[in-house]
């Protein structure tokens, strides 16, 4: 589904974010990308969204050459991917309901679909009672659950979760991981970046380990080894 071929990202001589990375991710996989801060995890996943462009090498999403995409097609690609960030990246001026409705509006869903689906997905992440709260009226865990609800609402083919538990306590972390596993069980490909040992060990699926912009390990049913 996703193919990185000899991808490098060099900002300048002293700052190499990715160094000749080759990686394939197949449909339905749950891949955890682990490594210390600055290992290149976030840069790697940003390339799938064309939020970063490689200095050399190619990035393919199925048959789409991502860095070469025109603006209009880029919008279409992003609609096929749900994204969850460490800092949630919710729209601060919109309520929980409107944050999710916005993602549905973006892909052209009708008002009827929005009215029926939004309460449903909020129930799924246990936020029914916070429907009309603004993000700053919610806890970190609640905001992240809202971000996940937004990411899955359009039934994307791929979920990218970039350090989704970085700002959360143990209980909330556990909940988020369980939700991601459930999404994966339903057939959606999930890419998770993290440096949380407990998270990786509890998932027990493929683990790609990065260091200084390179992939140093790629284990099926892996553990956190650095």
Partner 1 sequence: MTELKRIIKAGFVNFTRSGIISWAAVLVVTITLTVITTIILLNAVLYFSLNQIKDKVDVTIYFTVGAPENKILSLKDSLQNLPEVQQVSYVSAEEALKLFRDRHQSDYPTIQALDEIKDNPLGAYLNVKAKEVSQYESIANFMKSDNALVLGSASIIDKVNYNQNKTVIDRLNNIISGAQRLGFLITLILVIISIVITFNTIRLAIYISREEIGVMRLVGASKMRVRGPFMVEGAIYGIIATIVTLILFFPATIYLGKTMTNFLGLNIYDYYLSNLFQISVIILLSGVLLGIFSSFIAARKYLNK
Phi, psi of 105 (to 5 degrees): -60, -40
Q: Please pick, from the candidates 11, 24, 26, 51, the single residue that binds partner 1 as defined by CB under 8 A.
A: 51
Question: Are 156 and 98 contacting, i.e. CB atoms less than 8 angstroms apart?
Answer: no
Question: Are 54 and 5 contacting, i.e. CB atoms less than 8 angstroms apart?
Answer: no
Single out the segment in contact with partner 1 by CB under 8 A; choices: 3-11, 25-33, 100-108, 197-205. 100-108
- CA dihedral sign, ordered 224, 215, 180, 29: negative
Buried b (16+ CB within 10 A) or exposed e, 185-211: eeebbbbbbbbbeebbeebebbbbbbb
State the nearest-atom distance from the C-beta of 79 to partner 1, in Å.
4
State the nearest-atom distance from the C-beta of 151 to partner 1, in Å.
9
Q: Which is nearer to partner 1, 70 or 220 (CB)?
A: 70
Q: Please pick, from the candidates 103, 122, 203, 210, the single residue that binds partner 1 as defined by CB under 8 A.
A: 103
When asked if residue 105 is in the footprint of partner 1 (CB under 8 A), the reply is yes
When asked if residue 53 is in the footprint of partner 1 (CB under 8 A), the reply is no
Site pattern 6..35 for partner 1 (x: CB under 8 A): ------------------------------
- Distance between CA atoms of residues 211 and 169, nearest Å: 26
Question: Are 13 and 21 contacting, i.e. CB atoms less than 8 angstroms apart?
Answer: no
When asked if residue 150 is in the footprint of partner 1 (CB under 8 A), the reply is yes
Site for partner 1, rule CB under 8 A: 49, 51, 71-72, 75-76, 78-79, 83, 89-93, 102-103, 105-108, 110-111, 150, 154
């Amino acid at each position: 589904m996703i193919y990185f071929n000899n991808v490098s990202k060099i900002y300048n001589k002293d700052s190499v974010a990715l160094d000749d990375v080759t990686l394939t991710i197949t449909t339905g996989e749950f891949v955890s990308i682990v490594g210390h801060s600055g290992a290149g995890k976030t840069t790697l996943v940003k390339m799938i969204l064309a939020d970063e462009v490689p200095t050399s090498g190619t990035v393919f999403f199925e048959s789409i050459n991502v860095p070469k995409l025109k603006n209009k097609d880029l919008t279409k690609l992003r609609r096929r991917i749900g994204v969850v960030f460490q800092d949630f990246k919710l729209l601060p001026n919109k309520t929980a309901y409107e944050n999710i409705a916005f993602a549905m509006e973006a892909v052209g869903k009708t008002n009827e679909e929005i009215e029926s689906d939004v309460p449903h997905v909020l129930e799924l992440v246990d936020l029914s009672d916070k429907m009309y709260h603004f993000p700053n009226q919610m806890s970190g865990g609640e905001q992240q659950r809202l971000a996940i609800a937004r990411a899955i609402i359009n039934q994307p083919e791929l979920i990218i979760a970039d350090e989704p538990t970085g700002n959360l306590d143990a209980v909330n972390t556990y909940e988020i991981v369980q939700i991601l596993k459930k999404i994966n069980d339903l057939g959606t490909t999930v890419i998770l970046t993290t440096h949380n040992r407990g998270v990786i060990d509890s998932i027990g699926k493929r683990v790609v380990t990065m260091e200084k912009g390179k992939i140093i390990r790629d284990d099926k049913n892996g553990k956190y080894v650095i």
